[in-house]
Structure 1
Amino acid sequence: MQASRWTPICALDDIVPNTGVCALVEGDQVAVFRVGGNTPQSVYAIGNYDPNSDAAVLSRGLVGNLGERIVVASPIYKQHFDLTTGECLEAPANSVHAYATKVEDGKVWVAA
């Protein structure tokens, strides 16, 4: 099994709670979200490209929840993507990659 390479993204405080930012991780656009508080569990990362709209826009979506699932709604057609798994709830075939995240010393990291 190949070890993950961690990429520093930004300070946790640079991401407004319940919003996302876009970062380049080893050549891929990744949408990084801060949900609620300041714990490592509050940071999620999924691919930024929305296959439903053919646009790299997921970091600009609205964060919320559907039942127990924490999701982002795409800003174009409003499909919901689970921030933990990357699953597109309305069209599972159009799911995106989910990335591991961590927060260390106030900095957000994403694993490639």
Structure 2
Amino acid sequence: MTVADGSDLWLRRFHPAPDAPVRLVCFPHAGGSATFYFPVSAALASDCDVVALQYPGRQDRRNEPNVDDIGVLADRIAPLVEPLFDRPVVFFGHSMGAILAFEVARRLEG
């Protein structure tokens, strides 16, 4: 399935939990990919809808150019995660992912 906004390239759900009361959006480290959060998704699947980001230049997106500016990356991600706020959302980032999560949150503050 292709989504017009491109979110299908960026947002990965390994164990979808559409009825979960909370959503966890995971931001991988600088050299990481969405699959880094596969075990987290498996462990939380019954309680939480886990969505992991897949950055350009990683795994199945390896042919796309990397984005080497945190601000630009945050600008691209913010509109893609905004529709996820139909329930409480928690951002979690590892290493560079934590900085990116913070920058995305700043853009969504309103």
TM-score higher than 0.5:
no
For Structure 1 versus Structure 2, the TM-score category normalised by the shorter chain is: under 0.3
Structure whose residues are more often helix by fraction: 2
Query: Which fold has the larger relative contact order, with Cα–Cα distance below 8 Å and residues 6 or more apart in sequence?
Result: 2
Structure whose residues are more often strand by fraction: 1
- TM-score when scaled to structure 2? 0.27
- TM-score when scaled to structure 1? 0.27
